[in-house]
Amino acid sequence: MSNEARQHRFTPPQGATDILLIRHGETQAAVRGQTFPMVDGQGDPPLRPEGEAQAHAVAARLKSEAIDAIYVTTMQRTHQTAAPLATALGIAPLVEADLREVFLGDWDGGEFRFRAAENDPAILRAREKECWGELPGGETFVALQARVVRGLRRIAGAHPDQLVAVVVHGGVVGAALAAATGSRNFGFNGADNGSISRVVIHGEQMILRGFNDVAHL
- Cα of first residue to Cα of last residue in the chain, in angstroms, is 46
Indicate which residue of 26, 79, 96, 101 is catalytic: 101
DSSP 3-state of 69: strand
CATH value at residue 130: 3.40.50.1240
Q: Is residue 164 part of a domain?
A: no
Total number of domains in the chain:
1
Residue 42's Cβ-side half-sphere holds a number of Cα atoms within 13 Å equal to: 18
Residue 130 appears among annotated catalytic residues: no
pLDDT < 50 stretches in the chain: none
pLDDT of residue 194: 98
DSSP 3-state of 53: helix
Residue spans of beta strands (DSSP E) within the chain: 17-23, 38-39, 42-43, 67-72, 94-95, 163-168, 196-202, 205-213
Mean of pLDDT over the chain: 97
Q: Is residue 209 part of a domain?
A: no
Flag whether the pTM goes above 0.75.
yes
Q: Is residue 104 part of a domain?
A: yes
Q: Is residue 95 part of a domain?
A: yes
Q: What tens digit of pLDDT does each residue of 122-181 get? A: 999 999 999 999 999 999 999 999 999 999 999 999 999 999 999 999 999 999 999 999
CA distance 47 to 183: 30
pLDDT of residue 22: 99
Q: Is residue 123 part of a domain?
A: yes
Indicate which residue of 24, 79, 159, 169 is catalytic: 24
pLDDT of residue 3: 87
Q: Is residue 207 part of a domain?
A: no
CA distance 105 to 25: 23
CA distance 181 to 51: 29
pLDDT of residue 111: 97
Q: Is residue 215 part of a domain?
A: no
Q: Is residue 3 part of a domain?
A: no
Residue 8 appears among annotated catalytic residues: no
Boundaries of domain holding 102: 17-23+35-159+172-196
